[in-house]
Amino acid sequence: MAEDLQIKGNTKEEKYQSIIPQIKALIDGETDTIANMANICAALKYGFNFFWVGFYLVKDNQLVLAPFQGPVACTRIHLGKGVCGTAWKNNEVIIVDDVDKFPGHIACSSLSKSEIVLPIYNSKNEIIGVLDIDSDEYATFDKTDALYLNQILKLMGQ
Ligand code: SME
């Protein structure tokens, strides 16, 4: 395994296109979901210098903190609460340009300014959790992030 990932490119698209094959190589052949989530978090956190990257998994009808990279975070989120709980409840990707303007946003850190949350599915198309990425800058995420992050999430299911 390569000691570290190498991200090339200037644009967001180029960076994702550079990192996706490396993440694929990293998790190919590994069936342990937690291990793969852990490496995906590290690859995205250090590849893009995001403030926080982490997974929450559905357990006992709550989202429970799973592998992440970044400062400590809240451990449990109820259905419909915060950005994560809303993405889960509505079964949709949510992009928030300014977290202070999202009603009910759960502030794990005051440094977090914008956020993207993507549902994760099992083979039966049921939501098993979410991927949450926070930025310390406003309006970091857009449809390009949603597109490529979904591609990365799909790698886990292969
Ligand atoms: N901000 C999220 C909570 C998780 S932390 O950002 C790590 C939310 O509103 O759901």
**pLDDT tens, position by position, 53-75:** 999 999 999 999 999 999 999 99
- 5 confidence band (pLDDT: 50, 70, 90): confident
pLDDT at residue 29 tops 90? no
Structure confidence by residue, pLDDT tens digits, 86-119:
999 999 999 999 999 999 999 999 999 999 999 9
Give residue limits of the domains in the chain. Answer: 12-156
Average pLDDT score over residue span 128-157: 96
The pTM score is 0.96
> Counting atoms of ligand 1 from 1, which one is nearest the CA of 112?
6
Nearest CA to ligand 1 atom 7: 73
What strands lie across the sheet with 94-96, from one edge to the other? 76-78, 62-69, 52-59, 127-135, 114-121, 94-96
Question: At 71, phi and psi to the nearest 5?
Answer: -65, 160
- Structure confidence at residue 1 (pLDDT): 57
Residue 145, ligand 1, Cβ within 6 A: no
Find the 106 Cα to ligand 1 centroid distance in Å.
5
Fold of 12-156: Beta-Lactamase (3.30.450)
